[in-house]
Amino acid sequence: MTTLYTMPGTCSLSPNIAVAWLDAPVEIHNMAYGDHKKDDYLAINPKGKVPALRFDDGDVLTEAAAILAWLGATHGSEGYARDTVLGRKEAEALSYMTSEVHAAYGGHFGPGNFAETEDAQAEVKAKTYKTLAGHYDRLNKVLTENGGEWYLGQRSFADTFLYVLSRWIEQTPLSISDYPGLQQHRRRMEENDGVRQALKRQDMDPIG
């Protein structure tokens, strides 16, 4: 069976939710933190990161946006097709969230990768949070302009990654209360059966 490798607290929650929404025949293998750096997993994904999707033939697909695209194309309905307006906008939104917003968290998760001294790392973090605040302002605005319920006005995989980002904000000095649209979206997502199923499979709890 196709297997999705996940780990608590990571963006692998996004495709995990997608699997639940689609009821796709994908096994979830949730690893303890640190196992992603062990030889067994590095043999599957040499990047040492999650998510990774391993197929029956041994082929492996990495990167959340790529896995979401495969899930939609393989197990989704017409609404997941990339040749629809929603499909195109979903691809755009996921590209932004995964390549820009997620990447901006580098200064938070690994400031030592950008600076050596404590003072310099503190400066990196300060700039990181300023950048993230701009991203969250934009995400909140798009969500609100599209009606407030779903990021693109209709449910899409963009909502799965937005939910991840709305959880990560709790690790920063930023406050979700400054982005009421995102706060309400997070609360609604956590009322969703598929989201709750994915959280349980990944040993995670709702935030509220």
pLDDT at 195 > cutoff 80:
yes
Q: Is the pLDDT of residue 61 over 90?
A: yes
> What residue has token string 């449910």?
155
- What is residue 77's predicted lDDT score, i.e. its pLDDT? 75
pLDDT digits (tens, 9 = 90+) for 3-44: 999 999 999 999 999 999 999 999 999 999 999 999 999 999
2-77 CATH fold: Glutaredoxin (3.40.30)
pLDDT value, residue 113: 84
Band of the pLDDT at 104, cuts 50, 70, 90?
Answer: very high
pLDDT at 46 over 90: yes
Delimit the domains of the chain by residue range: 2-77, 79-191
2-77 matches 79-191 in fold: no
Mean pLDDT across 72-92 = 83
pLDDT in tens, 154-175: 999 999 999 999 999 999 999 9
What pLDDT shows up at residue 208? 77
Least confident of 55-59, 92-96, 115-119, 178-182: 115-119
- Check whether 147 has a pLDDT greater than 70: yes
pLDDT at 188: 97
Is the pLDDT reported for residue 83 higher than 80?
no
> CATH topology for 79-191?
Glutathione S-transferase Yfyf (Class Pi); Chain A, domain 2 (1.20.1050)
